[in-house]
Structure 1
């Protein structure tokens, strides 16, 4: 409802779809590994996690606004599986709030994690492309396309190693790419999908790669 908070139905401010109290109460991903975005204990703020020290991903840093919990998980499910434009608009706004530009140069191109054409046809909706088109327009970043060549099995229940193997060679990018690119996905779990796309971007000429996502799933085990 216009003028009402999506979460509590209270009065919102400045035409935003939330009130200040609900915005503050969301599960922000503020204490996270700067390399992969995995939520970390408060005392580990700014430190690269042990897994990234042992197995650095192909991207250089991650910006993930929220943790995949509570109201955020519900919103993402509405957006991803029910193609709710209202949920998508709120998630896009939250992504911009939680991922304000870092110091340094902005990316010269944005690429969404692509669905395989067969999966996109089945679902009838490509949530990553939907977010990327709108974010690119709002941030004035050129939007480029990647190709997904294999309709990989579901990643659910797979550990990091098996996820990486599942996605090996799944993506390609027509180059040459500019030096600085950002990759966008709706939800990041282990980062294996973004890592595979980042490797394709490296092969196409990218030198500095950021991984962006609306939410990060906290891992229960390494």
Structure 2
């Protein structure tokens, strides 16, 4: 048996985790350096799609001509650097601690006192859920719901599989998710719809459309990250 060097044993004792940003040992999910390097999306932003803007608007050049079913979108981080690392740590490595320690506080903090009647997560198709073992959006949604004092409701289901959206253009993304979701009964009032990343908003848009068709009055999208 090869014993670890004394310094490494001490490091494991006092810093038992690795930072999701730089992979160095850390006392929490992020080291201080990576925490300070979080790619925050600061105001002003577009109230409709969440993109950074020169001043507060509702409907910017990026979304003004796009039909959106959700009433607003927010994300505290850009999908780059440490933000991207946090998403990958959860989604592909199953590091769930990052949800409560980093994601939920940032996401709930970005809502600026907004109130919702329910929190709903973007669902995974059963085949993808079986392969991954969990739905990252549901973990995030439940954690955010607990922080804002709203019930988490399992009101959306994926009724068919879809292609991975990563390499698809915006029109292809919309076509890919069209008709992919269904509602498990009505959700009244105002709903917070949660996912991990927003790129074109196609998935969130289709889920919001389904919710509104089932009777939801307002749908606001919340993700940890968005591409900018």
Residue 174 of structure 1 corresponds to 184
Residue 112 of structure 1: which of 111, 117, 121 is its match? 121
Q: 1:84 aligns with which of 95, 107, 112?
A: 95
Report what 2:46 is aligned to: 33
Change over 3 Å in CA distance of 1:16–1:119 after alignment to 2: closer
How far did residue 210 of structure 1 move? 0.3
How far is 1:16 from its partner?
Answer: 9.6
Residue 22 of structure 1 deviates from its aligned partner by 5.3
The RMSD of aligned alpha carbons is 2.7
In structure 1, stretches of 5+ residues that fail to align are none
TM-score between the two structures when normalised by the length of structure 1: 0.83
What SS is found at the alignment partner of 1:82? Answer: coil
Alignment coverage as a number of residue pairs: 210
The whole-number CA distance in structure 1 between the counterparts of 2:129 and 2:112 is 30
**Residues 147 and 10 (structure 1), Cα distance of their counterparts in 2 relative to 1, 3 Å cut:** closer
Matched, 1:200 2:210: yes
Deviation string, structure 1 residues 170-205 (Cα, Å, up to 9, x no partner): 111133211211100011111000000000001110
Partner Cα separation in structure 1 for residue 26 and residue 134 of structure 2:
32
Q: From the CA coordinates, give the structure whose radius of gyration is larger.
A: 2
Q: What is the Cα deviation at residue 207 of structure 1? A: 1.2
CA distance in 2, matches of 1:48, 1:23: 31
Asked if 1:65 is matched to 2:76, the reply is: yes
What are the equivalent positions in structure 2 for 1:99-178 lying under 5 Å apart?
99-102=111-114, 106-145=115-154, 146-178=156-188
- Residue 184 (1) aligns with residue 194 (2): yes
Deviation per CA, 1:121-157, whole angstroms, max 9, x where unpaired?
A: 0111211111112222232211112111011011112
* Cα distance in structure 2, aligned partners of 1:11 and 1:156: 31
Residue 214 of structure 1 aligns to a residue whose secondary structure is: strand
Counterpart Cα distance in 2 of 1:183 and 1:134: 13
Structure scoring higher RCO (CA < 8 A, sep ≥ 6) equals: 1
Deviation of 1:166 (Å):
0.8
Q: Per-residue deviation at 1:10?
A: 11
* Structure 2 alignment gaps of length 5 or more: 1-13
* Alignment partner, residue 54 of structure 1: 65
> Aligned partners of 2:18 and 2:108: how far apart in 1?
18
